[in-house]
Structures are given as structure tokens and as C-alpha cells.
Amino acid sequence: MNKSITAASLAIAFGTAMTLAAAPAAAQDKMADKEKCYGVAMKGKNDCKAGAGTSCAGTSKIDYQGNAWSMVPKGTCEKTASPTSPTGHGQLKEFKEKKA
């Protein structure tokens, strides 16, 4: 039991919490060591994991579609080649494909 919780200790706790919340997103303690990578999936091979009855997985129409993503190990996305990407590599945000 935390008998020592008072208005003052709650105020201090929230003060710290607000500082934590304002910290950059990179500090977030996410479990998965993967990242969403746009523009690297082959046609029909994009990921979409939302359980049964959701059907966006495997719906991408073209190879390297800019708004279709795959989960890839963290740090590898922007090193993966993507011929449709303006940067020449996968991107962490969706993009408009350039003409090949």
C-alpha cells in the first residue's frame, strides 16, 4: 500500500510526468524493435495486423507502393532500396511514388 500519497506528492508526481510526456518521441519505451516502412513491399505483400475480419493486409496494388508499409527491423527501413521513392530508399512516412 502507498499510504504516503498526499496532494503534494501527487503534484510532484504529475510535475515529473508532464516533463516525461514532453520528452521527444524517440525516448518512448516501445516493446517492438521494428519500424513501419513505406514503399518497400511487393504488390500484395504489405502488412496489416489488426486481427480477424480486417482485410488491408496484402491489398497494395503495385510493387513499392508509397502508402503501403511493412514491418521491418528498426534502423533498416531507410537502407532498403525502393525504386519508387524520391530518396531511393524506404521511408518512415508514406510518400508519393515518383515515376520509375
Is residue 31 within 8 A of residue 71, CB to CB? The reply is no
Smaller CB separation from other proteins, 19 or 99: 19
Give the DSSP H/E element, type plus range, for residue 77: none
Write the CA distances from 63 to 39, 44, 70, 71, 100, integer angstroms.
8, 8, 12, 16, 11
The answer to whether residue 73 forms part of the interface with other proteins (CB under 8 A) is yes
Q: CA-to-CA distance for 63 and 92, rounded, in angstroms?
A: 17
Residue 26 binds to other proteins (criterion: CB under 8 A): no
Minimum distance of other proteins from residue 56's CB (angstroms): 11
Least distance in angstroms from the C-beta of 98 to other proteins: 25
Q: Which part of the chain contacts other proteins (CB under 8 A), choosing from 23-31, 37-45, 58-66, 88-96?
A: 23-31
Query: In the complex, which residues of this chain contact other proteins (CB under 8 A)?
Result: 1-3, 5-23, 28-34, 49-54, 71, 73
